[in-house]
Amino acid sequence: MPQFINNKRLIVLMVSIIILVAVIGFSMRDRDNISLPEQLFRDGAGFAQSVLSKPAYIAVDFFTDASFLLNVYQENQTLKARVDEAASISAELAGVRQENETLREMVDQEESLTDYSIRAAQVIHRSPDHWTETIGIDKGSQNGIEPDMAVMTPEGLIGRVQSTSQFTSTVQLLSDGDDNNRVSAMVTTDGDPVYAFIEGWDEEREGLMLRKIESDAEIEEGQLVSTSGLGGIFPRGLAVGEVVSVEPDEYGLTYNALVEPAAGFYNIEQVTVIERSSESLDEGLEEEAETSEEEEEEEEPVDGTEEGGG
């Protein structure tokens, strides 16, 4: 009896396998229409998925909207803080401007070393043989460009106008190793600024050399370097770079500093030409000297003969 039951189970299992294989084969064959059981199964599964997915989508949308509203609220608070900060800075700037105007009136000075005007220009050519030395721009003497005007990118100073034609100009970059390519610069410190000269380019370390730094000057890494305005060419305050290292010169009397340029000298497309408005200090001193000499000549008394005749 148990043997018959086992044989019956085996027969049922084999028949079930045969039916399953037949159904699979039938469902896998290429057909234009599906069978009724398959339609019922697909429709039922689709309806169940549709019913179950709607609450899930509603929940996802709810939490997404809540997260979005939270982010909007946080951004709104941040923007409000920045608006308040901007208003404070604007008020402070207005006060500084007014104080600056007052101080200028007190010293009867209409111009300062930081006064300048700008002209935008585009780089039109660059020689492969002088890639780090010069560039050409599309503005010339007809556009008010003159030799020795400073040339910048938004990051900082890159050089000066070397020569001009009617409609184009050649710009000498700070990375040019010419001995005459120098800039009067200053290092911003906690105390008084330290004045020195940008002279030369270190090709190995790809940095500008700041030379003739006084031995007692406190120069540290990370301090900012800008134009001093004392050279009579560039206005004051144009960004040059940042001090990377400081070392004594070959004689040990002064110090040299390696300066990482604020602007890059390779991918240059748009530049700004800076026209300094104020005159150099040397010219101002010469004018004062001439005025003093004229006043002294006017105050000199006439000779004794004329006095006696009176």
Least confident of 159-163, 220-224, 281-285: 281-285
Which one of 105, 129, 154 terminates a domain?
105
In the predicted model, is pLDDT for residue 137 greater than 90? yes
Instruction: Tell me the backbone φ, ψ of residue 73, rounded to 5 degrees.
Output: -65, -45
Q: What is the pLDDT of residue 11?
A: 80
β-bridge pairing 224-227 and 239-248: antiparallel
% of the chain beyond a pLDDT of 70: 67
Q: Do residues 167 and 264 both lie within one domain?
A: yes
Provide the residue count of the chain. 310
Instruction: Give residue 309's pLDDT band: very low, low, confident or very high (50, 70, 90).
Output: very low
Q: How far apart (Å, rounded) are the C-alpha atoms in residues 182 and 192?
A: 22
Q: Which two tokens stand for residue 74?
A: 């946080």
% of the chain beyond a pLDDT of 90: 14
In this structure, is residue 297 part of a structural domain? no
Q: What is the pLDDT of residue 258?
A: 92
Q: What is the mean pLDDT of residues 162-166?
A: 91
In this structure, is residue 293 part of a structural domain? no
Q: What is the mean pLDDT of residues 212-218?
A: 85
Q: Do residues 70 and 190 both lie within one domain?
A: no
- Domain count for the chain, please give it: 3
Least confident of 99-108, 192-201, 248-257: 99-108
Residues spanned by the domain of 42:
33-105
Q: Please report, for residues 20, 25, 26, 123, the alpha-carbon distance to residue 30 in angstroms, rounded to integers and kept in the order given.
A: 18, 10, 9, 67
| 151-166 exposure pattern, b = at least 16 Cβ within 10 A, e = fewer | bbbeebbbbbbbebee
Whose structure tokens read 């780090």? 132
In this structure, is residue 39 part of a structural domain? yes
CATH number of the domain where residue 180 is located: 2.40.10.350
In the predicted model, is pLDDT for residue 33 greater than 80? no
Burial class (CB in 10 A: 0-12, 13-18, 19+), 187: buried
In this structure, is residue 72 part of a structural domain? yes
Per residue in 168-190, pLDDT (tens digit) is: 999 999 888 787 888 889 998 88
Residue ranges of E strands in the chain:
116-125, 134-137, 150-153, 156-164, 169-173, 182-187, 194-202, 207-213, 224-227, 239-248, 255-261, 270-276
